[in-house]
Chains A and B, each alone.
Chain A
């Protein structure tokens, strides 16, 4: 059946009705540092994407004893990193990301921070994956509270075309079908949807990790302390970018010198800002698994409208 131009105009009018609120947009404009919210969201993906990238990084080859004075290097370190990841494969990864840098004067002043719980940290194909993302505003209040549940596909997704992720991690996108539960604090509503198509920035499949190892992309940069833990600092070479496209110019991963699990990741961007993500591994106990589910406060109304979905007639 052919459509008319009037159908098209009506569709555009529909879309226009889902315009954002001016105050929501202006908040970013007037805020110190004036950082687009999109970069806040870049932090929000930390649990999925960063957890995964950490996994890929941590197991990559550390070439020989070239590190600066490290007690463990080369094949030994590689083996220990691999063993640590395999051992923690079923754990819940808690990651917390904070943005800092020019225009961001630290916690509480900029775009807030995000926390993500991913279970299991390193899923096998066919395994059910749960990701709980919490986004906190600059005043510390909880704004985003989402849970994603999907089955890890057997095959990797399409190649990651994002200039940042692709150049640094070589990760892959996953397009999966899953469930989405969201609590919208601003509107005091919540919703749950099933069989949604989800774009998930997970790359922690065995093949990807093996590939990262074979590529030998990591070097030992040094040793130090991260939050009281003795840590090995690993550097990842990033290609020199051109133009004004936002990109990662330096990437570091710290792994615990005892457990060999990731402790912290730092990404320096071409605009001088930095994201630092701290990792904690939690055993999959009943109490910890319960943390994967957003809490729906009493009195919240259920909604059927997804974020970004235009209002129903």
Chain B
């Protein structure tokens, strides 16, 4: 598979993952660019892997976790949602609630957020997350537990739905 073929097939899903990690389009673009430039430079090696998209996803994750969180940019830090609502009230209460949840997600420590993204967006098991992050499943559960408590999310015993990321990348 060439880099171009990889990009055509896998990049959209990877960019969605980047957006989930970072919480906004601009940061996701920056994150993805940082990683994709390295991927492109090392494509002869990465392209030879069995599942290069998993490797790239891990690169995104590592870059996200090691990223300087402070922005270099002069950009609005807020989402402006209060303003938008004031100018054009949002009739969807559920959307407002989800907006609040997204905002709170953005305040989580990076590792907690990454664990939640891997568990609830990608659909990985705690063991797989531990393998990805290089820690123990117990540590993963600890991160998840603290994050869910912060977000006031109640655990439910039902099985996870099909993972969005994996579907897209297979």
Contacts and interface: CB of A to CB of B under 8 A. Distances in A.
Nearest to A49: B74
B73 A44 contact: yes
A312 interface: yes
A9 B34 CA distance: 27
A299 interface: no
Contacts of A71: none
Contacts of B156: 4-6
A228 interface: no
Contacts of B23: 15
B155 A16 contact: no
Contacts of B82: 195
Interface stretch (B46-54, B85-93, B124-132, B134-142): B85-93
B154 A4 contact: yes
A257 B36 CA distance: 46
A259 B17 CA distance: 52
B15 A198 contact: no
A307 B68 CA distance: 20
Given A4-B154, A38-B30, A12 B75 contact: no
A295 B82 CA distance: 26
Contact of B12 (A19, A34, A42): A19
Contacts of B61: none
Contacts, number: 199
B83 interface: yes
Given A5-B153, A9-B121, A28 B36 contact: yes
Contacts of B18: 19-20
Nearest to A313: B95
A258 interface: no
Interface string B90-105: 1010010110011001
Q: Which of B20, B34, B82, B87 has the most CB of A within 10 A?
A: B20
A41 B75 CA distance: 10
A37 B30 contact: yes
A193 interface: yes
A101 to B, nearest CB: 16
Nearest to B40: A29
Contacts of B81: 309
A30 B7 CA distance: 12
B21 to A, nearest CB: 9
Contact of A22 (B11, B77, B83, B87): B11
Interface in B24-82: 24-30, 32-34, 36-37, 40-41, 68, 70-82
Main secondary structure of the interface of A (DSSP, over half): mixed
A309 B24 contact: yes
A133 B12 contact: no
A44 B26 CA distance: 14
Contacts of A10: 98
Contact of B121 (A16, A21, A312): A16
Interface string A1-18: 111111111111111111
Contact of A28 (B26, B37, B68, B75): B37
Contact of B87 (A197, A201, A304): A304
A148 interface: yes
Contacts of B7: 22, 26
Interface string A40-57: 011011011100000000
The 8 closest A-B pairs by CB, nearest first: A308-B24, A20-B29, A197-B78, A16-B16, A12-B121, A19-B19, A19-B15, A308-B26
Interface of A: 1-22, 24-26, 28-30, 34-38, 41-42, 44-45, 47-49, 131, 133, 146, 148, 161-163, 173, 175, 180, 193-201, 304, 306-310, 312-313
28 contacts: A2-B153, A3-B97, A4-B156, A6-B156, A8-B120, A8-B148, A18-B25, A20-B25, A25-B29, A26-B36, A28-B36, A28-B37, A29-B33, A29-B37, A34-B40, A38-B34, A45-B74, A48-B74, A162-B68, A162-B70, A196-B77, A196-B80, A198-B74, A198-B77, A306-B79, A310-B24, A310-B25, A312-B84
